[in-house]
Amino acid sequence: MLQNLALPNHFNVNFRLIRGIGIFFLLSELVLAIFLYKERGTFMDVSFQTFEMIRTHALAPQVYRFGSALTQIYPFMGILLGLPLWMIAMLYSVGIIIYHGFVFYYCAFRRKSIRMMFIFILSSAMMTTHIFFWIQSEFSQALPFMIGLLCFLEEKQFNHFGLKHYSILLVGIITLVFFHPLAFPVYTLCLLLIFAIKQNWDNRVLGISWLMALGVYLIKRAFFKNWYDEGAQERTQNFISLFPNYFNTDSTKLFLTNSFYIYMGVSISLLVLIILLVYRKKYVLLVVSVTSILAYFFMINVTHPQADEFYLENMYLAIPLLISLPLSSMFKLGEKQVVHSQLSGFLVCICLICLSRLWFVSGQYTERMNWFRTAMKKYEGQKTIISEKDAPMKQLLFSWPSAYECWMLSTIETGQTTSLVVVDDIQKLIPYKDTTSAFIGIQIYRYSDLPSSYFSFKDSVTSYQIIP
User: pLDDT tens-digit profile of 297-310?
Assistant: 989 988 888 878 88
Residue 15: pLDDT over 90: no
Position 132, amino acid: F
**What is the DSSP-derived secondary structure letter of residue 108?**
I
Give the C-alpha separation, 102 to 34, whole Å: 18
Buried b (16+ CB within 10 A) or exposed e, 55-93: eeeebbbebebbbbebbbebbbebbeeeeebbbbbbbbb
End-to-end CA distance of the chain: 72
Give the C-alpha separation, 66 to 139, whole Å: 12
**pLDDT value of residue 332:** 53
Residue 333: pLDDT over 70: no
Question: Residue 80: in which H helix or E strand, if any?
Answer: helix 69-80
Q: Report which listed range, 233-237, 238-242, 399-403, 464-468, is most confident.
A: 399-403
Q: What is the DSSP string of 303-368?
A: H--S--HHHHHHHHTHHHHHHHHHHGGGPPPSTT----HHHHHHHHHHHHHHHHHHHHHHHHHHHH
Residue 1: pLDDT over 70: no
H helices present in 128-199, as ranges: 138-155, 163-179, 183-197
H helices present in 334-467, as ranges: 341-378, 393-396, 402-414
User: pLDDT tens-digit profile of 237-268?
Assistant: 777 777 677 778 888 888 888 888 889 999 99
Q: Which of 212, 144, 174, 148 is nearest to 65 (CA)?
A: 174
Give the C-alpha separation, 279 to 290, whole Å: 16
**What is the DSSP-derived secondary structure letter of residue 461?**
S
**pLDDT value of residue 225:** 79
Question: Residue 421: in which H helix or E strand, if any?
Answer: strand 420-423
Give the C-alpha separation, 7 to 59, whole Å: 48
* pLDDT level of residue 235 (50, 70, 90 thresholds): low
Cβ atoms of 170 and 209 within 8 Å: the answer is no
Coil, strand or helix at 35: helix
The model's pTM is 0.91
Q: Is the dihedral of CA 55, 57, 61, 63 positive or negative?
A: negative
How many residues appear in the chain? Answer: 468
Coil, strand or helix at 181: coil
User: pLDDT tens-digit profile of 353-385?
Assistant: 999 999 999 999 999 999 999 998 988 878 888
Question: Residue 423: in which H helix or E strand, if any?
Answer: strand 420-423
Q: What is the DSSP string of 233-250?
A: HGGGGHHHHTTT-TT-SH
The residue that leads in pLDDT, 322 or 5, is 322
Q: Is the dihedral of CA 334, 339, 343, 344 positive or negative?
A: positive
User: pLDDT tens-digit profile of 48-100?
Assistant: 999 999 999 999 988 888 999 999 999 999 999 999 999 999 999 999 999 99
Coil, strand or helix at 264: helix
**pLDDT value of residue 234:** 64
DSSP3 helix / strand / coil % (the chain, rounded to 5): 70, 5, 25
What integer is the mean pLDDT of 11-37? 87
Least trusted range by pLDDT, from 81-90, 150-159, 227-236, 397-406: 227-236
Mean predicted lDDT score pLDDT of the chain = 87
**pLDDT value of residue 159:** 56
Cβ atoms of 421 and 402 within 8 Å: the answer is yes
Residue 10: pLDDT over 50: no
Residue 337: pLDDT over 80: no
Give the C-alpha separation, 468 to 385, whole Å: 9
